[in-house]
């Protein structure tokens, strides 16, 4: 079990060491792809071993339960797609002179470190270690966001580092306060921050201190998840970073941060009752959706548009978590997986568009479907996934979230959320149609697609279709995770 | 309250009346010597007062009773403070009103009287000086309240005599963070309240840089003498108060004898002289702050006083 | 050491800690602010050292020494080196909120910190937890500094002050979190500062100086 638990963390770290030693080469890049794939495979293996309960490894430092398996699947899938596409993407950037050897080497080293940190964050049993891992993702992605060394990317990096560091510092304060409360609830100092210990002692946690801690943790991890009020870094960072990194950040990192919040919620709900975080998540989630929907309407840059779509989806995920029922949490996890794959698909396609047009303005791109069957179809499929249309999985997840909200007597929140989703839907459709449809113009540049990017795009499309048709064994996994998080019926 | 206690209080008033110009003269002398000048001697302010008192009384046309009464109000309030606060002995007959709010109220009464007089003259400089003075007073008064309040927290009483007694019995209190912060805040406040550098230059003759001088620009003759005297008395009383709040040793008790009173006079004289000399020496090295930076300094001292209060509360709660 | 000495020493350390934060808000020159940060790091390191001596806990004393080396020496030296390369821009330009208002806001934040931390003191009324309002006030002041400054370095100083405040709170209420978390947190702080330092250098090369008002290309 220990090996299975350590594999998702050590495999990407090994790839990082190899990339640091060799620089950006075909071998190191391929090893990174294999590492991401091994995250997925070990996640599946752990899932089969763990079943309905939870198992520990490395002396109760790591924890395997349905939630960590789910998140490993997300990290593994999107990670494989992104690292596979990175091979062709970075080689193309090197060829066109958008980056140099040093930049490529740094990229090759930082991406697997990023993956390892995310894997540690979802596997950690001690919420302090979970915090360290999430902070490590900020440090690892800082220079990935600034990969291109332009003024705009420098600005994005600064905002990202500063705002996320402030947020994560607040989360640390919340963690410390929770440790304090846990010590006074009778836990011993060596394992007072362990998730299972916190769950058992939750009823004795001092309510006032826990409330303060929960508020800080909501703000802090919400900052990493792109929720209001620390959301201002999201559009800049996700739009300025290279496409595979945007895919990873939008598709996975936001959800990993939110899964940390889910773990905290499990403890806080037992200590304070569901009311406190329900209200907090509702306010934060609905405000995030409002900000995202309003800004989606005025977008002129397609990467920023996709970033705001991520923010909108994270807001919806927060609202679903506020509902807190088993159906809500299970739907939320399906939503996270489907969104991850769909967002990765559309960002990878957008990366090729950016490489071809050397700009990310929506007005510069037309007749995509006619010009490139592969990129056009991939972009279209990804967009349809994000719009939540059948037969793709996000339709099912959004429908389930709506049912869960109604079942939890949050009809008014459902109404507001649906309204905002419609606004976002309209904005995405309008911009998407402008980019995809129309007669091709002679002067538009050709869209070259490196082989690995093509492979990633095709795999992404297939995965989205498959996930849409059936969630298969994953349904049971999501429901187990919901039960483990203490969700009510 | 004994007869000797009443005598001590009367002695405080006389002492302040007689000694204030000497304190100002001493400060000027210290400055002069440090700047390499001979200086006019310690008794120079007395000679200036004598000269002013013999001049003709001139009142500007258009001023009202406010202008006429202001010097008396300032001098009277300061003398009342001198009678109340524990300078030589603790058992003043007015001890029951010797609490923090009373003293601060009297200080503010003096400030307001002079400010209104400045406005009453109807000249541009008078109004300018008054508005600047009130800006400073607005930040200074809360700071004095907070700083002395911080000192009163350990003893649970705002009575000044009680605070001084508490410090005498418990010398370690002076070194606590609350006390130290209150000291710094009070020094800044005294500098601002009495118009010394770096807030206001008492020897300036450039009207645009004046604060205190601009308000009293229209006074001449005996009234000017009274105003100058009152300013000197305010400085003396405030310095003596701060000295006794933080270094109260030597002060006579609530039931003083002749010997302790003499000791008390000697002690307070030494403390005031030392404090005034240090202040004057410091002034040699500081330049006047630009006017818009003065609120920064005062806001900073207000913050220090607030921190002093919170620090005192923390310490008091722990004990 | 006796209980009163312990309380007094802890009180003095927490008071100096808060005073350093107040002076950082007051002063505007970058060199002065970095020096004040070093003093604040010393006051911060004093807290686990005092606790360690009181409880005769060698681990706490070790942690105190590490914190002293890191936060009073290494990080300010790193920042100082970045300040040193600023040419003629040593002074902070007028902050977004003028100094008087900043100081009054700081006073308000201190009072707010006292109000917010009452449940913590109520749960565990020892001498150490009674000093928590000071460290909490530093956290609030640090966030205010980050929001109201224009220079990249001042924001970095604000961030380090935030980190100091949280570390102080951790030391005061629990005598430190488990070692592994403390180690991770310190390493992350170190890396964050390195990142900020490198970014400041890049910013100077790209924009000419490090005035954050120049970062306005990305907006909707």
CB A157 within 8 A of CB A146: yes
User: Which of chain B's residues have a Cβ under 8 Å away from the Cβ of C98?
Assistant: 296
**Contact status, residue A104 vs residue A94, Cβ threshold 8 Å:** yes
Which residues in chain A (280-319) have CB-CB distances under 8 A to chain C?
A: 295, 298-299, 304
Q: Which residues of C touch B307 (CB under 8 A)?
A: 15, 18-19, 22, 110
Task: Report the residue from C15, C22, C100 with minimal CB separation from B295.
Answer: C100
Summarised one tens digit per residue, pLDDT across range C126-135 is 878 888 999 9
Q: What is the DSSP string of A244-301?
A: HHHHHIIIIIHHHHHHHHHHHHHHHHHHH-THHHHHHHHHHHHHHHHHHHHHHHT--B
The answer as to whether A76 is a domain residue is yes
Chain C residues with beta carbon closer than 8 angstroms to that of A181: 123
Within 13 A of C83's CA, how many CA atoms are on the CB side?
22
User: To which residue do tokens 């990407």 refer?
Assistant: A12
Q: 């700009």: which residue's tokens?
A: A359
According to the model, what pLDDT value does residue B156 have?
Answer: 80
Q: How far apart are CA A400 and CA A406, in angstroms?
A: 10
Percent of all residues in chain A with a pLDDT value above 70, rounded to a whole number:
100
Quick one: pLDDT at residue B224? 92
The mean pLDDT of chain A is 90
Q: Which pair of tokens denotes residue B51?
A: 């000269």
pTM for the whole structure = 0.84
When pLDDT is cut at 50, 70 and 90, the band that residue A146 belongs to is confident
DSSP SS3 for B99: strand
Cα A72 → chain centroid: 11
Is residue C22 within 8 A of residue B303, CB to CB? The reply is yes
Distance from CA of A179 to the nearest CA of C (A): 7
* CA–CA separation, A351 and A375 (whole Å): 10
The Cα diameter of chain B in Å comes to 63
User: Which subunits have 3 or more CB–CB pairs within 8 Å of chain B?
Assistant: C
Q: Per DSSP, what are the bridge partners of residue B89?
A: B252
Q: Which residues contact A113 (CB under 8 A, 6 or more apart)?
A: A12, A13, A16, A136, A140
> What mean pLDDT is reported for chain C?
82
Q: Between residues C209 and B269, which one has the greater pLDDT?
A: B269
* ipTM of the complex as predicted: 0.89
d(CA C123, nearest CA chain A) in Å: 8
- Per residue in B127-169, pLDDT (tens digit) is 999 999 999 999 899 999 999 888 888 878 878 888 888 888 8
Query: In angstroms, what CA-CA distances link C166 with A189, B72, C134, C160, C189?
Result: 19, 56, 11, 10, 12
**What sign does the dihedral C64-C65-C70-C71 (CA atoms) show?**
positive
DSSP C126: S
In the predicted structure, residue C154 carries a pLDDT above the cut 80: yes
- What is the C-alpha separation between A169 and C164, in angstroms, rounded? 10
On whether residue A489 sits in a domain, the answer given is no
| CA A357 – CA C122 distance, rounded (Å) | 62
pLDDT digits (tens, 9 = 90+) for A15-48: 999 999 988 888 889 999 999 999 999 998 988 8
Q: Which of C11, C16, C18 sits opposite B315 (nearest CB)?
A: C11
- Is the pLDDT assigned to residue B96 strictly greater than 90? no
The answer to whether chain B touches chain C by having 3 or more C-beta pairs less than 8 angstroms apart is yes
C111 touches chain B (CB under 8 A): yes
Nearest to C163 among A154, A158, A169 (CB): A169
**Chain A nearest CA to C99, separation (Å):** 23
How far apart are the C-alpha atoms of C6 and C15, rounded to whole Å? 14
Q: For chain A, state the CA radius of gyration.
A: 21
Is the pLDDT at C1 greater than 70? The verdict is no
Question: How many Å apart are CA A438 and CA A441, to the nearest integer?
Answer: 9
CA-CA distance, C7 to C126, in Å (whole number)? 9
More confident of the two residues A113 and A373: A113
Element (H, E) at A63: strand A62-64
Average pLDDT over residues A77-104: 90
Which residues in C lie closer than 8 A to residue A157 (C-beta atoms)? 199
Alpha-carbon gap, residue B255 to C94, rounded angstroms = 57
Q: Is B207 on the interface with C (CB under 8 A)?
A: no
- Give all chains having 3 or more CB-to-CB distances under 8 Å with chain A: C
Give the helix, strand, coil percentages of chain C, each rounded to 5.
80, 0, 20
Q: Which helix (H) or strand (E) element contains residue A55?
A: strand A55-57
- Percent pLDDT > 90 in chain A is 51
Chain C CA closest to residue A130: C181
C112 and chain B in contact, CB less than 8 A? no
pLDDT at B165: 83
How distant is the Cα of C138 from the closest Cα of chain B, in angstroms? 12
Across the interface, whether the CB atoms of C103 and B296 are under 8 A apart is answered yes
Cβ neighbours for A141, distance < 8 A, ≥ 6 positions apart: A110, A114, A160, A237, A241, A245, A249, A253
Identify which of C4, C107, C114 has the shortest CB distance to residue B302.
Answer: C107
Q: Which of A388-397, B58-67, C173-182 has the lowest mean pLDDT?
A: C173-182
CA A7/CA A432 separation, integer angstroms: 40
Distance from CA of A236 to the nearest CA of C (A): 6
Where helices occur in A23-65 by DSSP H, the ranges are: 26-50
Instruction: Find the length of chain B.
Output: 319
Residue of chain A whose alpha carbon sits nearest to that of C166: A173
Q: Give the separation between CA C215 and CA A159, rounded to whole angstroms.
A: 9
Q: How many Å from the N-terminal Cα to the C-terminal Cα in chain A?
A: 31
C212: chain A residues, CB-CB within 8 Å: 158
What domain range is A375 assigned to?
2-484
Report C:196-215 residues touching A (Cβ under 8 A).
196, 198-199, 202-203, 206-207, 212, 215
Question: Counting Cβ atoms within 10 Å, is residue A287 exposed (0-12), middle (13-18) or buried (19+)?
Answer: middle
Q: Taking CA atoms, what residue in C is nearest to B315?
A: C11
Q: Which pLDDT belongs to residue C92? A: 63
Q: What are phi and psi of C32, to 5 degrees?
A: -65, -40
Tell me what pLDDT residue A418 has: 93
Q: Could you say which of B178, B181, B317 has the minimum Cβ distance to residue C130? A: B317
Instruction: Report the DSSP beta bridge partners of residue A325.
Output: A488
Task: Give A264-309 pLDDT, tens digit per residue.
Answer: 999 999 888 888 999 999 999 999 999 999 999 998 999 999 999 9
Burial of A144 per CB tally in 10 Å (0-12, 13-18, 19+) = buried
pLDDT of A342 above 90: yes
Range of the structural domain that residue B201 is part of: 3-318
**Chain C residues with beta carbon closer than 8 angstroms to that of A295:** 220
- How is residue A464 written in tokens? 């989205």
Interface with chain C: mutation pick from B140, B192, B297, B307, highest number of C CBs within 10 Å: B307
Residues A139 and C188 sit within 8 Å (Cβ to Cβ):
yes
Q: Which of B117, B125, B109, B79 is nearest to B223 (CA)?
A: B117
Distance CA C68, CA C74 (A): 9
Going by pLDDT thresholds of 50, 70 and 90, the confidence category of residue C60 is confident
Task: Kindly report whether the peptide bond that precedes residue A137 is cis, defined as omega within 30 degrees of 0.
Answer: no
Q: Which chain B residues touch C15 with a CB distance below 8 Å?
A: 177-178, 181, 307, 311
Distance of CA A148 to the CA centre of its chain: 22
Cβ contacts of A192 on chain C, cutoff 8 Å:
178
The two tokens of residue A105 are 């080497």
Q: What DSSP line would sit under C185-216, residue for residue? A: HHHHHHHHHHHHHHHHHHHHHHHSS-BGGG--
Residues of C within 8 A of A177 (CB-CB) are: 120, 173
Structure tokens at B191: 């500098």
User: CA quadruple B295, B297, B298, B302: dihedral positive or negative?
Assistant: positive
Over its C-alpha atoms, chain C yields an Rg (Å, rounded) of 18
Q: A162 at the C interface (CB within 8 A)?
A: yes
State the pLDDT confidence band at C85, using cuts at 50, 70 and 90.
low
Instruction: List the single residue in C with minimal CA-CA distance to B292.
Output: C100
| Cβ–Cβ gap A169/C146 under 8 Å | no
Locate A307 and state its tokens.
Answer: 């970033």
Q: Please list every residue in chain A whose beta carbon sits closer than 8 Å to the beta carbon of residue C195.
A: 139, 142-143, 161
3-state secondary structure of A194: strand
B181·C100 Cβ contact <8 A: no
Helices (H), chain B: 3-34, 44-53, 65-84, 100-120, 124-152, 160-169, 177-193, 212-215, 222-246, 258-285, 294-318
- Which chains border C (3 or more CB–CB pairs < 8 Å)? A, B
End-to-end Cα spacing for chain B: 33
- Summarize the confidence of residues A225-236 as an average pLDDT: 91
């Amino acid at each position: 079990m220990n090996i299975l638990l350590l594999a998702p963390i050590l495999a990407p770290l090994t790839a990082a060491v190899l990339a640091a030693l060799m620089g950006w080469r075909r071998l190191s890049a391929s090893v990174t792809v294999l590492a991401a794939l091994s995250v997925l495979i070990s996640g599946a293996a752990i899932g089969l071993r763990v079943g309905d309960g939870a198992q520990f490894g490395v002396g109760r430092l790591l924890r395997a339960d349905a939630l960590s398996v789910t998140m490993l699947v997300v990290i593994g899938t999107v990670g494989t797609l992104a690292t596979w596409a990175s091979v062709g993407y970075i080689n193309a950037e090197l060829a066109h002179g958008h980056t140099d050897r040093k930049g490529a080497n740094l990229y090759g080293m930082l991406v697997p470190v990023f993956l390892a940190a995310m894997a540690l964050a979802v596997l950690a049993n001690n919420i302090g270690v979970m915090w360290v891992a999430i902070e490590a993702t900020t440090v690892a992605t800082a220079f990935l966001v600034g990969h291109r060394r332009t003024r705009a990317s420098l600005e994005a990096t600064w905002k990202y580092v500063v705002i996320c560091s402030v947020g994560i510092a607040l989360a640390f304060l919340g963690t410390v306060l929770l440790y304090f409360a846990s010590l006074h609830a009778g836990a011993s100092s060596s394992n007072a921050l362990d998730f299972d210990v916190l769950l058992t002692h939750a009823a004795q946690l001092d309510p006032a201190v826990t409330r303060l801690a929960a508020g800080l943790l909501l703000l802090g991890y919400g900052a990493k998840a792109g929720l209001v009020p620390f959301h201002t870094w999201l559009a800049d960072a996700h739009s300025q970073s290279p496409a595979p990194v945007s895919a990873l950040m939008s598709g996975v990192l936001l959800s990993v941060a939110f899964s940390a919040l889910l773990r905290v919620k499990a403890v806080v709900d037992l200590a304070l009752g569901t009311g406190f975080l329900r209200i907090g998540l509702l306010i934060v989630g609905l405000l995030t959706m409002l900000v995202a929907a309003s800004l989606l309407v005025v977008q002129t840059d397609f990467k920023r548009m996709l970033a705001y779509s991520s923010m909108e989806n994270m807001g919806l995920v927060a609202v679903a978590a506020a509902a807190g029922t088993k159906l809500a949490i299970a739907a939320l996890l399906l939503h996270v997986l489907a969104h991850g794959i769909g967002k990765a698909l559309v960002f990878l396609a957008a990366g090729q568009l950016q490489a071809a047009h050397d700009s990310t303005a929506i007005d510069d791109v037309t007749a995509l479907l006619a010009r490139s069957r592969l990129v056009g179809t991939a972009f279209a499929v990804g967009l349809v996934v994000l719009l939540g249309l059948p037969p793709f999985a996000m339709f099912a997840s959004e429908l389930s979230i709506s049912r869960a909200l109604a079942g939890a007597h949050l009809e008014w929140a459902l109404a507001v959320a649906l309204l905002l989703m419609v606004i976002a839907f309209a904005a995405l459709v309008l911009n998407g149609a402008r980019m995809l449809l129309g007669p091709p113009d002679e002067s538009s540049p050709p869209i070259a697609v490196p082989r690995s990017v093509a492979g990633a795009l095709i795999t992404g499309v297939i995965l989205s279709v498959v996930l849409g048709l059936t969630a298969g064994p994953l349904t049971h996994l999501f429901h187990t995770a919901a039960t483990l998080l203490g969700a009510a019926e | 309250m004994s007869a000797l206690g009443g005598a001590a209080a009367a002695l405080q008033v006389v002492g302040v009346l007689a000694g204030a110009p000497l304190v100002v003269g001493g400060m000027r002398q210290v400055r002069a010597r440090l700047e390499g000048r001979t200086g006019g001697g310690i008794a120079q302010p007395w000679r200036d007062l004598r000269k002013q008192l013999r001049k003709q009384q001139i009142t500007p046309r258009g001023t009202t009773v406010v202008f006429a009464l202001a010097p008396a109000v300032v001098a009277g309030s300061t003398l009342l403070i001198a009678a109340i606060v524990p300078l030589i002995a603790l058992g003043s007959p007015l001890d029951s009103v010797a609490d923090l709010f009373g003293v601060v109220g009297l200080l503010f009464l003096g400030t307001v009287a002079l400010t209104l007089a400045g406005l009453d003259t109807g000249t541009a400089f008078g109004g300018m000086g008054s508005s600047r003075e009130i800006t400073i007073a607005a930040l200074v008064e809360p700071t004095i309240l907070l700083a002395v309040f911080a000192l009163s927290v350990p003893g649970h009483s705002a009575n000044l005599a009680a605070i001084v007694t508490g410090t005498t019995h418990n010398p370690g209190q002076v070194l606590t963070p609350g006390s130290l912060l209150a000291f710094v805040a009070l020094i800044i406040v005294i500098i601002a309240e009495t118009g010394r550098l770096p807030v206001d230059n008492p020897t300036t003759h450039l009207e645009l840089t004046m604060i205190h001088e601009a308000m009293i620009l229209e006074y001449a003759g005996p009234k000017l003498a009274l105003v100058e005297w009152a300013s000197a008395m305010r400085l003396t009383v405030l310095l003596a108060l701060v000295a006794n709040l933080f270094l109260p040793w030597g002060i006579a008790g609530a039931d003083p004898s002749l010997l302790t009173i003499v000791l008390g006079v000697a002690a307070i004289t030494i403390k005031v002289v030392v404090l005034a000399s240090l202040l004057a020496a410091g002034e040699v090295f500081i330049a006047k702050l630009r006017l818009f930076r003065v609120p920064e300094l005062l806001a900073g001292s207000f913050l220090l006083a607030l921190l002093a209060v919170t620090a005192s509360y923390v310490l008091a709660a722990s004990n | 050491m006796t209980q009163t000495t312990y309380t007094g020493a802890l009180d003095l350390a927490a008071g100096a800690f808060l005073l350093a934060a107040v002076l950082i808000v007051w002063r505007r020159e970058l060199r002065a602010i970095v020096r004040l940060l070093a003093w604040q790091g010393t006051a911060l390191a004093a807290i686990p050292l005092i606790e360690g001596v009181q409880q005769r806990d060698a681990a706490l004393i070790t942690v105190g020494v590490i914190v002293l080396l890191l936060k009073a020496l290494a990080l300010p030296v790193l920042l100082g080196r970045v300040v040193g390369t600023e040419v003629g821009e040593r002074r902070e330009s007028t902050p977004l909120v003028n100094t008087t208002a900043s100081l009054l806001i700081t006073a308000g934040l201190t009072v707010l910190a006292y109000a917010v931390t009452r449940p913590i003191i109520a749960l565990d009324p020892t001498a150490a937890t009674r000093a928590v309002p000071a460290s909490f006030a530093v956290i609030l002041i640090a966030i205010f500094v980050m929001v109201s400054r224009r220079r990249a370095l001042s924001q970095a100083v604000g961030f380090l002050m935030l980190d100091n405040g949280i570390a102080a709170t951790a030391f005061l209420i629990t005598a430190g979190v488990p070692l592994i978390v403390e180690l991770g947190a310190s390493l992350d702080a170190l890396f964050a500062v390195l990142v900020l330092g490198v970014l400041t250098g890049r910013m100077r090369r790209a924009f000419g100086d490090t005035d954050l008002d120049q970062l306005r290309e990305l907006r909707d």
